[in-house]
Amino acid sequence: MADFEWYRSFVAVYQEGTVSAAAQRRALTQPAVSGHILALEKLFDIQLFLRTPRQMIPTETGHALYIQIISAIEQLESATQSGLQPQNASYEIRLGTAREYFYVDGLVRLAAQGTTKYRVTLTIGHTARLLRQLQ
């Protein structure tokens, strides 16, 4: 039986075109992502990608698998992400900005959000001081 993570790695490689980009996107190592792809290929006894020095090119079978699973993968990932956040959740936004920028552009953008789901902590000051505080 295939592991869900194998399919997620397969989709990432398919979309990114390289194992290294897929690994970075998934916050995994390259050997882990390669292992997932090899495990799927072994499970189904098929080749999913043509391996070239610079990219992974989906085979016809790889493309067919992608078309078959992408909708389910996206739905599961969406359900997982939305399921982790209560509907009445509040998100904290911390802003550090120069006064002039905030009053000219930042306040307008913040007001345009039109939601009470954000708690904003605002620090106004000179760039050098803000950078020191950020560090």
- Say if strands 91-97 and 49-51 run parallel, antiparallel, or are unpaired: unpaired
The average pLDDT across 116-123 equals 68
Q: What are the C-alpha distances in Å from 103 to residues 52, 95, 96, 98, 127?
A: 52, 13, 13, 9, 16
4-83, CATH topology level: Arc Repressor Mutant, subunit A (1.10.10)
Please give the backbone phi and psi of residue 123, each rounded to the nearest 5 degrees, phi first: -120, 120
Q: What are the residue ranges spanned by the domains of the chain? A: 4-83, 91-134
pLDDT of residue 79: 73
Q: Which of 40, 78, 2, 42 is nearest to 14 (CA)?
A: 40
In this prediction, residue 128 has a pLDDT band, given cuts at 50, 70 and 90, of: confident
Q: pLDDT tens digits for 90-119?
A: 667 777 777 777 667 766 676 666 656 667
Helix (H, G, I), strand (E, B) or coil at 51: strand
Token digits of residue 47: 């080749």
pTM above 0.85, yes or no: no
Are 56 and 17 a contacting pair, CB within 8 Å? yes
Strand segments, DSSP code E, in the chain are 49-51, 56-58, 91-97, 118-124
